[in-house]
Structure 1
């Protein structure tokens, strides 16, 4: 049993595939932009804070005590790491949702195409 597709079916499937590809690509680039922005903000803040803390410790305590007593900042740094992770995942929930919803039409068209091939 041979199944032939009409040119309209092929054209519609190709258009849906191209549209889905560009929707997914735009969603992906939006997510990459958010990650880059978050990383730049985090790096700037960490650099500024480290610079300020180092200058403050050096002026107040001298180099020897500064090296010995730098462990008191572990708590705040751990909180900052946790905050970064929370911000990262919070900003990517919509991205994952959009990506999943963008895949649904593609999945339906693929499975629908296979069903139509198997029933004809």
Structure 2
């Protein structure tokens, strides 16, 4: 039987540490993007609230307030949708980085396992063919399972994206309809 050398073990550990820190950096990048987005949103909301308060206080009659209210509904809904879209993009971007790293790690581990099996097969004592065949079969089954799970995950992400897009479109239409109804009601009053 072959044994792993200390150099092989150290290289494997270095690879795992590199992957860990790479993924940790990706998490921090995602958190940083979310923090910047949230700060921008708060800053924008504060400025808009100040502007709305000034317009409200300068209104001369209730009709002005109704017009102001109807003019705020749709933009607020659109901004909320834009914010949600940005959050979604940040999260899916971070997830894509994790998937890419996982795929690279799996490929590296798969290559190492295959190299180990090949070395083991060459150096296996007589009569161990059954054990080697079982080991090869196990690795093939693990690879097949990984491929199946990977494809299912991709499909689930695609379905989630299309559902998010459909929900965003429906919410946008509902906001426009509400704004139109509010506008008509304020004109009629």
Task: Within 5 Å, give how 1:1-120 maps onto structure 2.
Answer: 4-61=3-60, 65=62, 69=66, 71-72=69-70, 73-115=72-114, 120=120
Alpha-carbon distance, 1:107 to partner: 1.7
Q: Structure 2-normalised TM-score?
A: 0.51
**Number of residue equivalences:** 116
The answer on whether the counterparts of 1:13 and 1:109 sit within 8 Å (CA) in structure 2 is: no
Structure 2, unaligned stretches of length 5 or more?
Answer: 121-189
| Superposed structure 1 runs of 4+ greater than 6 Å apart | none
Higher relative contact order (CA 8 A, sep 6+): 1
> Any idea what SS the aligned residue of 2:4 has?
coil
Structure of larger gyration radius:
2
> Any idea what SS the aligned residue of 1:4 has?
coil
Aligned Cα root-mean-square deviation (Å): 2.7
Q: Distance in 2 between matches of 1:77 and 1:51?
A: 15
